[in-house]
């Protein structure tokens, strides 16, 4: 398989990751490796209330109920993952971590740092406050594969047709290196350069990357398209769909500004609106 020691993140609060998404996550994971650990949180809700508020509202009882709900959700998701993993021949373990909502993102990011790759359903990170996807992509130091429920995927995907989005930058170079195990086993690899988006991507700029990939045993086909839409992410996504790709590889760009994390245009668009799974590195 392409990678060992994968991590798959799920949500348990306020809602559990739906069973259909869990099944799809197993299919994606099995296409990437043979061994994975699924993780979800048992959410702790600390209370800071006065005695009168407690008497009137019974906040502690409400908090305990919500904590029990998150644990039940996490256990259900973990059981669903293990059952689906068995049917796909995937060696699976599960972990439920105890954490407050505001510390959950940090705990998951720490776990991702000691894994080869993290798989993240969009439905899981959408319900976790604190920018889970951004934290994993920019803070773990490891690649992340994101996907959404209902994307075009066969029952047993293999990621045989891959598009690499190339802008000549550091993040793109890192993504190519991280994705090399997948690129080497793919049947078809296309390198996409969008002309007219960045000065770093002039016409004819793909020759050196084609040479490097050939030296690594990857026969890649260079492709140049002209930017026809202000949303660069849409241009890349439309190309990947039109060519029948089943995985998009790209470098992720973003930076912190005050207390807000600002994503690059293509990263923001493809993180939430891609039609196929996306392999991102920073």
**Which CATH number is 168's domain given?**
3.40.50.620
Q: Is 82 within 8 Å of 94 (Cβ atoms)?
A: yes
Which of 94-103, 106-115, 121-130, 234-243 is predicted with the least confidence, judged by mean pLDDT?
121-130
101 and 201 in a single domain? The answer is no
3-class DSSP assignment, residue 167: coil
The predicted pLDDT at position 58 comes to 56
For residue 1, tell me if it sits in a domain: no
41 and 128 in a single domain? The answer is yes
Last residue of a domain, one of 93, 123, 147: 147
Q: What is the pLDDT of residues 67-98, one digit of tens each?
A: 999 999 999 999 999 999 999 999 999 999 99
pLDDT band at 261 (very low <50, low <70, confident <90, very high): very low
Closest CA to 276 of 154, 137, 128: 154
3-class DSSP assignment, residue 238: helix
Q: Is 225 within 8 Å of 195 (Cβ atoms)?
A: yes
Q: Give the DSSP H/E element, type plus range, for residue 112.
A: helix 101-112
For residue 154, tell me if it sits in a domain: no
For residue 198, tell me if it sits in a domain: yes
Q: Which residue has the higher pLDDT, 37 or 272?
A: 37
In sequence order, the β-bridge partners of residue 190 are 163, 221
For residue 235, tell me if it sits in a domain: yes
Asked if residue 109 has pLDDT above 50, the reply is yes
Last residue of a domain, one of 147, 170, 201: 147
Q: What is the pLDDT of residues 184-227, one digit of tens each?
A: 999 999 999 999 877 767 788 899 999 999 999 999 999 999 88
The torsion angles phi and psi of 97, rounded to 5 degrees, stand at: -100, 140
Q: What is the pLDDT of residues 118-177, one digit of tens each?
A: 999 998 887 776 689 989 999 999 999 999 988 877 677 889 999 999 999 999 999 999
Asked if residue 269 has pLDDT above 70, the reply is yes
Alpha carbon distance 5, 220 (integer Å): 27
3-class DSSP assignment, residue 3: strand
Q: Is 99 within 8 Å of 44 (Cβ atoms)?
A: yes
The domain total for the chain is: 2
139 and 14 in a single domain? The answer is yes
Q: Is 167 within 8 Å of 141 (Cβ atoms)?
A: no
Last residue of a domain, one of 114, 147, 180: 147
187 and 137 in a single domain? The answer is no
96 and 32 in a single domain? The answer is yes
Q: Is 155 within 8 Å of 24 (Cβ atoms)?
A: no
The predicted pLDDT at position 197 comes to 76
126 and 222 in a single domain? The answer is no
Asked if residue 5 has pLDDT above 90, the reply is yes
Asked if residue 263 has pLDDT above 80, the reply is no
Average pLDDT over residues 250-267: 60
The predicted pLDDT at position 102 comes to 86
Task: Tell me the pLDDT of the chain averaged across its residues.
Answer: 88
38 and 165 in a single domain? The answer is no
Q: Give the DSSP H/E element, type plus range, for residue 247.
A: strand 247-251
36 and 100 in a single domain? The answer is yes
For residue 232, tell me if it sits in a domain: yes
Domain range for 180 is: 161-281
Cis peptide bond prior to 33, omega within 30° of 0:
no
DSSP 62-94: HHHHHHHHHHHHHHHHHHHHHHHHHHTT-EEEE
Q: Is the pTM of this model over 0.85?
A: yes
For residue 156, tell me if it sits in a domain: no
Q: Give the DSSP H/E element, type plus range, for residue 175.
A: helix 170-178
Alpha carbon distance 97, 167 (integer Å): 38
For residue 128, tell me if it sits in a domain: yes
């Amino acid at each position: 398989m392409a990678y060992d020691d994968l991590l798959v993140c799920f949500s348990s609060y306020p809602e559990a990751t739906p069973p259909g998404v869990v099944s799809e996550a197993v299919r994606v994971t099995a296409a990437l490796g043979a061994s994975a650990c699924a993780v979800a949180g048992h959410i702790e809700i600390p209370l800071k209330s006065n005695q009168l508020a407690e008497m009137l509202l019974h906040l502690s009882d409400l908090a305990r109920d919500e904590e029990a709900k998150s644990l039940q959700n996490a256990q259900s998701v973990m059981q669903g993952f293990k059952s689906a993993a068995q049917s796909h021949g995937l060696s699976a373990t599960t972990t439920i971590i105890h954490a407050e909502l505001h510390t959950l993102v940090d705990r998951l990011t720490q776990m991702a740092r000691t894994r080869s790759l993290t798989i993240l359903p969009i439905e899981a990170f959408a319900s976790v406050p604190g920018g889970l996807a951004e934290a994993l992509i920019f803070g773990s130091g490891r690649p992340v594969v994101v996907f959404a429920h209902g994307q075009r995927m066969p029952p047993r995907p293999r990621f045989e047709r891959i598009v690499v989005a190339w802008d000549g930058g550091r993040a793109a170079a890192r993504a190519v290196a991280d994705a090399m195990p997948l690129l080497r086993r793919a049947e078809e690899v296309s390198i996409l350069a969008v002309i007219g988006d960045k000065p770093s991507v002039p016409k004819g700029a793909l020759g050196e990357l084609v040479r490097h990939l050939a030296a690594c045993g990857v026969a890649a086909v260079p492709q140049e398209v002209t930017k026809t839409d202000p949303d660069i992410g849409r241009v890349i996504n439309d190309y990947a769909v039109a060519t029948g790709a089943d995985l998009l590889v790209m470098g992720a760009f973003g930076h912190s500004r005050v207390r807000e994390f600002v994503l690059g245009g293509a990263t923001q668009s493809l993180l939430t609106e891609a039609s196929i799974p996306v392999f991102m590195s920073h």
